[in-house]
Structure 1
Amino acid sequence: MAESTTETIESVTGQTEHSIEIAAPAATVYALLAEVGNWPQLFPPTIFADYLEHDEHEQRIRIWATAGDGVKHWISRRVLDPALRRIEFRQEVSSDPVAAMGGTWIVDALPDDRSHVRLLHDYRAVSADRLGWIDDVVDRNSRTELAALKANVELGVAGSEAAFSFEDTVEVLGSAEDVFGFLSEAQLWPERLPHVAGVSLTEPGPGIQSLSMDTVAVDGSQHTTMSYRIVFPSHKIAYKQLTMPALMTLHTGYWTVRPLAAGVSVSSQHSVVINTENIATVLGPDAGIAEAKAYVQRALSTNSLATLRHAKQYAEARS
């Protein structure tokens, strides 16, 4: 008879606590944590997050985030307690090798308008040999998230002059399917878009794209960017750029296709944070944040509008 092996509860479960002090009022920190839409801007591992259901005290959210060298997606339920500044979370269905995951955010007030943030996790692996991988990812992501939270809150990124968003839109007398197909089939962009010199596109999971792209600027220079894209068929692609040019510390956005009475509108939305330390190096000693924002918006808009107009031409030719 073959030997049987039994994994103990301890061999497949883990618990962690990470904490940090932030020079900001506890109410401010809690409010940022409670608003899931902020997370791609606040936390480097988060690619995209939004609500499936939510009210003042309960939320059902979906999240895509980097984990190790890949991307994981899960749905969590969160219970919010604004009075105690606690947010409890629990994944509904976890992604292999995680069998279960939950925890708590706790924001405590300190003197002098400071706060102490604790991030607790409890989790279970699908097997004992995968627990170490989860330990490493939870530790790395928790430290990264808390450090980013501290930096962003203390620098006031949410309301900072260096942070801005904008959107470009065109109307198309064609089908949503054709427009969306043009946007989602980025592997064909070198053939379809004059400013794209090369593309490497992989799909590490359902609805997830890893996109490395070489683009040609107006001055002829070539730049390589790497992004993760989350694809919601026929209407939306959310992305987060992981490799930043000198003038940006953050770039996230969406491609969105919306129906009209005749045809569709298609938009490219960008959210950007300027790297203020590099303004003088890139634009000269007399440039400031306003000049940097105008420069970045012009560069991003030029490429976005080129893509939108070629998508329009493609879809209208097929209608």
Structure 2
Amino acid sequence: MSAEQVHRTSHDVEIAAPAAVVYGFIADTERWPLFFPPNVHVQRLESDGTSERLRMWATANGAVKSWTSRRTLDAAARRIEFRQEIPAAPLTGMGGTWVVEELGAGSSRLTLLHDFTVADDRPEDVAWVDRATDTNSRAELGRLKALAERWGRLDGLLLSFRDSVRVDGPAEPVYDFLHRVGDWPELVPHVTRLDLTETTPGIQIMAMDTLTADGSTHTTESIRICFPDAGRIVYKQTATPALMDAHTGEWTVVPDETGVTVTSHHHVVIREEAVARVLGPGSTLEDARRYIRQALGRNSTATLNLAKQHAEKAAVVG
């Protein structure tokens, strides 16, 4: 059998931001799900500062793929090399390099290089990978450019918070309530519709309609990755309300000697240009932060309290 052909791609973008700022974005992989549209979840398995091993989940041509990668970071040269350990089919090999070049004061070029192979070099598989690589690379570079060029204001655009509820009961029914999201229209009053697909166990793709305080309906689409052994469900909204550029989150169920703490975590990038349109003329970024905090917190806390009731009822019945 002949050797598989190595296919190579290159994508680049000029960014009106210092090279060190751009490098910081690509080095901070744990925030990639918030910053980069294709990325759903990143778990750092090992790290010593210059090399790291990652488990990653991302979309490729509409499908959710998962793999582990090793990365070598060179902060001085502003280069990061990566190589997938066990690539997701149809790949048999995938790697590449991020390169940040300083162009001048406050300007840089980011280049993303890929090389890949597929089994038997099947043309349809090569085309599939090439399309996914091109689509994802363009999405990542475009979003990174938009964020990096606002790096001086980024702290105001980022919002993270959490809400917790104490449960006097076991962890299993709490997690079960959060995991059985397909049942939420019957169990959670603010959820009016939910379409769920779970072809791969533990990877849930959902579209949901929720009621807001003013009676309007928001439609969101999300991908959820479930970790029952760890009591975690992480998610990435792939279609967000108008006021949010990105929204990721996590449900955590943490037992102790006397009960369970269940927490809803939210991370948001605010869509600055939508603030006045959504909240009215004269509205500020601080108004948007307050509105999002209240809206997301209200619904997630209501869900936490319903999970609490479910678990405490199960404990009494049991």
TM range (shorter): over 0.9
Are 1:160 and 2:155 matched, yes or no? yes
SS in 1 for 2:313: helix
SS in 2 for 1:211: strand
- In structure 1, what residue type is equivalent to 2:216? S
Q: Which residue of 2 aligns with 1:266?
A: 262
Query: Counterparts of 2:218 and 2:314 in 1: how far apart (Å)?
Result: 32
Q: CA 1:114–1:159 in structure 2 vs 1: closer, same or farther (change >3 Å)? A: same
Structure 1 residue 180 displacement after superposition: 0.6
Q: CA 1:207–1:126 in structure 2 vs 1: closer, same or farther (change >3 Å)? A: farther
Query: Counterparts of 2:273 and 2:19 in 1: how far apart (Å)?
Result: 28
Q: Which residue of 2 aligns with 1:106?
A: 99
Q: Which residue of 2 aligns with 1:3?
A: none
Q: Which residue of 1 aligns with 2:13?
A: 20
Structure 1 residue 87 displacement after superposition: 0.8
Structure 1 residue 102 displacement after superposition: 0.6
Query: Counterparts of 2:154 and 2:311 in 1: how far apart (Å)?
Result: 38
Q: Which residue of 1 aligns with 2:112?
A: 119
Structure 1 residue 50 displacement after superposition: 2.2
Structure 1 residue 7 displacement after superposition: 5.9
Query: Counterparts of 1:150 and 1:272 in 2: how far apart (Å)?
Result: 18
| Candidates 280, 285, 294, aligned match of 1:284 | 280
Query: Counterparts of 1:28 and 1:176 in 2: how far apart (Å)?
Result: 41
Q: CA 1:102–1:293 in structure 2 vs 1: closer, same or farther (change >3 Å)? A: same
Q: Which residue of 1 aligns with 2:86?
A: 93
Query: Counterparts of 1:157 and 1:89 in 2: how far apart (Å)?
Result: 29
Q: Which residue of 2 aligns with 1:209?
A: 204
Describe how 1:135-146 pairs up with structure 2 within 5 A: 135-146=130-141
Structure 1 residue 83 displacement after superposition: 1.7
- In structure 1, what residue type is equivalent to 2:180? E
Superposed CA offset, 1:4-23 (max 9, x none): xx56633xx31111111111
Describe how 1:247-262 pairs up with structure 2 within 5 A: 247-262=243-258
Structure 1 residue 160 displacement after superposition: 2.9
Could you list the structure 1 runs, at least 4 aligned residues long, displaced by more than 6 angstroms after superposition: none
- In structure 2, what residue type is equivalent to 1:79? T
TM-score normalised per structure 1: 0.94
Query: Counterparts of 2:127 and 2:201 in 1: how far apart (Å)?
Result: 25
Q: Which residue of 2 aligns with 1:299?
A: 295
Q: Which residue of 2 aligns with 1:150?
A: 145
SS in 1 for 2:189: coil
TM-score normalised per structure 2: 0.94
**Structure 1 unmatched runs, 5+:** 1-5
Are 1:236 and 2:232 matched, yes or no? yes
Query: Counterparts of 2:117 and 2:10 in 1: how far apart (Å)?
Result: 15
Are 1:67 and 2:60 matched, yes or no? yes
| Candidates 296, 308, 312, aligned match of 1:312 | 308
SS in 1 for 2:146: helix
SS in 1 for 2:239: coil
**Structure 2 unmatched runs, 5+:** none
Structure 2 contact 4–118 (Cα < 8 Å) conserved: no
- In structure 2, what residue type is equivalent to 1:39? W
SS in 2 for 1:266: strand
Structure 2 contact 23–100 (Cα < 8 Å) conserved: yes
Query: Counterparts of 1:33 and 1:294 in 2: how far apart (Å)?
Result: 29
Superposed CA offset, 1:66-106 (max 9, x none): 10011111110111111211111111111111111111111
SS in 2 for 1:205: coil
Of 279-288 and 42-51, deviating more is 279-288
CA RMSD of aligned residues (A): 1.5
Q: Which residue of 1 aligns with 2:50?
A: 57
Superposed CA offset, 1:117-157 (max 9, x none): 11111111124131110011111111111111111111128
How many positions carry a matched residue from both structures?
Answer: 312
Query: Counterparts of 1:163 and 1:186 in 2: how far apart (Å)?
Result: 27
Structure 1 residue 221 displacement after superposition: 2.0
- In structure 1, what residue type is equivalent to 2:176? G
Query: Counterparts of 2:240 and 2:59 in 1: how far apart (Å)?
Result: 17
Aligned-residue identity in percent: 48
Structure 2 contact 264–300 (Cα < 8 Å) conserved: yes
| Candidates 29, 32, 36, aligned match of 1:36 | 29
SS in 2 for 1:121: strand
SS in 2 for 1:116: strand
| Candidates 187, 196, 199, aligned match of 1:192 | 187
Query: Counterparts of 1:7 and 1:72 in 2: how far apart (Å)?
Result: 27
